[in-house]
Structure 1
Amino acid sequence: MTAAAVGLSHSPLIGKNDPAPGVLARVDQAVGTARDFIRDFDPELVVLYAPDHYNGFFYKEMPPFCLATEAHAVGDFGSAAGPLSVDTDAAKALAQGVLDRGVDLTVSARMTVDHGFAQPLEVLFGGIDRVPVVPVFVNGVATPLGPVSRIRALGTAVGEAAAELDKRVLFLASGGLSHDPPVPVLEGAPPRVADALIEGHPPTPEQRAKGEERVIRSGREYAAGSADMIPINPGWDNRLLDHLEKGELTEFDSWTVEGMAQEGGGSAHEVRTWIAAYASLAAASGAYEMTSRFYEAIPAWIAGFAVTTAKGR
């Protein structure tokens, strides 16, 4: 079994509220490097760690993480809608392998995912149905949130189980680094909003369009310096990337839920997907080398934006 990893930030504002051409060119170059890396690695299976933004998971049942044996995308923010090419046999084997290793994993036989899953598959593979995938949801916005050590434990268990598949496996992380977009919270929400966050009522097309326009407008206000959001934190983002590059994954065990939110914003917990993916690579390979690393703070996308590639030694 050979393993590799790619980390890719996502943003619903890509293509809708873009930064200066020079920034876009640097992002495109980094993404092109990741595409070339993936083409050369030629994965037989992609284990995709990604969050949700109240499109598939709600407070009625909110697991800290969940593996899918079947999944479809809702098509929010212009991302593709429809089924993902889930490798059901591999998903079931990984799920059993994780449970056998003492990690309490939730399994979904019909997971709903949003742009957090769809965007990396579209950007890196050209579509959501182009590569066999095992989707793994990692909660990054709905409190209460558990310790980061459990996410590392999940990634380690998945990596160990993947090593038994005898496949070329790519562990793919999807998530912004520091960012504080206008995501609704349950605490103190008006009754109508609270009910939607709990029950998960599918929005009407008009409601979805209104919500997406609100996010786009917030991105423009943030880029103009007039929005009240926690700033992007390049120092914190690069500390995260430094630990990942050096394989210092146990350092994350001391990161607290409150500290991560204070330093990186309300949605900074999406970095849990990166920690899981690199823990999987370390467990599957024993050691790894980060072969490329890109980072830029992009206010127009409300994100500390990063792209990394790594291969097992």
Structure 2
Amino acid sequence: MTAAAVGLSHSPLIGKNDPSPEVRAAVETAVDDARSFVRDFDPELVVLYAPDHYNGFFYKEMPPFCLATEATSVGDFGSVAGPLSVDTEAARALARGALERGVDLTVSARMTVDHGFVQPLEVLFGGIDKVPVVPVFVNGVATPLGPVSRIRALGTALGEAAAGLDRRVLFLGSGGLSHDPPVPVLDGAPPRVADALIEGHPPTPEQRARGEERVICAGREYAAGSTTMIPLNPGWDNLVLDTLERGSLADVDDWSVEWMAAEGGGSAHEVRTWIAAFASLAATGSYRMTSRFYAPVPEWIAGFAVAVAQQETGR
């Protein structure tokens, strides 16, 4: 088996509320480098770890993580709608492998995903149907959140299971680092909002458009400094990246849910997708991070990062 990993931040505000041309150019260069790496690696399978933003998973049933044997995008924030090219047989094999290794993995035969899954596939591959993929939802916002050690265990189990497939596998983590966007919270929510968060009523096109416009406006206010959202935290973001680069993944077992939110904001737990992806790669052998980019981008309400890692030579 040959394996690699990419961590890539996403934001629904890209192209809608952009930073200065200099920052955007730096981001594009980093993304181009990752795209070139992926093209040269030519994965036969992508195991994609990504969060949801109350488009596919709701409080009626909220697993800490879930693997899909089929998945369809809702097309939020202008992302592509429709089915992902899920490798169902590989997905079933990975699910069995995780369960055999003691990870209580939920499986969805009809997962709904949003821009968190779609954006990295569009950015790196040019579409949601260009490469066989196994989507893995990792909860990063809906409380209560479990210990980070279980996310590392998930990534390790799926990495070990993937090694048995004897294919070129890319483990891809999709998530912002520090960020505190205006995500609805169940506790204290008005009855109408609480019902939507629990039952998952699909919004009308008008409701979706209004919700997306609120996020765009929040990004503009955040960049202008007139907001109550927690500031981006480059120090914490680089601690996360340092930990992944060193390969000292066991360190994350001591990261508490409360500490991560205090340091990185309400949606900082999206870094769990990165932890899972790099734990999967580490499960196949030692690795080295070959490129790393980071920039705090308040216009996107995100500590934005791109990182690439591959197995050490000789493995």
CA distance in 2 between counterparts of 1:224 and 1:212 reads 19
**Alignment-derived partner of residue 137 in structure 2:** 137
Secondary structure of the residue aligned to 2:10 is coil
Secondary structure of the residue aligned to 1:67 is strand
Aligned length: 312
Amino acid at match of 2:303: G
**Alignment-derived partner of residue 118 in structure 2:** 118
The within-5 A match list for 1:22-61 is 22-61=22-61
Secondary structure of the residue aligned to 2:72 is strand
**Alignment-derived partner of residue 292 in structure 1:** 291
Deviations 1:234-290 (A, max 9, x none): 000000000000001000000000000000000000000000000000002x10010
**TM-score, L = length of structure 1:** 0.99
CA distance in 1 between counterparts of 2:247 and 2:239 reads 12
Amino acid at match of 1:211: G
Shift of the alpha carbon at 1:232?
0.3
Shift of the alpha carbon at 1:113?
0.1
Structure 1 residue 202 corresponds to structure 2 residue 214: no
Structure 1 residue 310 corresponds to structure 2 residue 305: no
CA distance in 2 between counterparts of 1:176 and 1:224 reads 20
Shift of the alpha carbon at 1:228?
0.8
Structure 1 residue 180 corresponds to structure 2 residue 180: yes
Shift of the alpha carbon at 1:229?
0.5
**Alignment-derived partner of residue 274 in structure 2:** 274
Amino acid at match of 1:298: V
CA distance in 2 between counterparts of 1:106 and 1:40 reads 33
**Alignment-derived partner of residue 154 in structure 2:** 154
Shift of the alpha carbon at 1:304?
0.1
Amino acid at match of 1:288: Y
CA distance in 1 between counterparts of 2:87 and 2:185 reads 34
Deviations 1:73-115 (A, max 9, x none): 0000000000000000000000000000000000000000000
Shift of the alpha carbon at 1:227?
1.0
**Alignment-derived partner of residue 78 in structure 2:** 78
Percent identical among aligned pairs is 82
CA distance in 1 between counterparts of 2:7 and 2:240 reads 12
Deviations 1:145-191 (A, max 9, x none): 00000000000000000000000000000000000000000000000
CA distance in 1 between counterparts of 2:24 and 2:268 reads 22
CA distance in 2 between counterparts of 1:125 and 1:42 reads 10
**Alignment-derived partner of residue 16 in structure 1:** 16
Amino acid at match of 2:286: A
Amino acid at match of 2:23: V
CA distance in 2 between counterparts of 1:111 and 1:103 reads 20
Shift of the alpha carbon at 1:33?
0.3
Deviations 1:6-48 (A, max 9, x none): 0000000000000000000000000000001001111000000
Amino acid at match of 2:194: A
Structure 2 residue runs without a partner (length 5+): none
Q: Could you list the runs of 4 or more consecutive aligned residues of structure 1 that deviate by over 3 angstroms after TM superposition? A: none
**TM-score, L = length of structure 2:** 0.99
Amino acid at match of 2:228: D
Structure 1 residue runs without a partner (length 5+): none
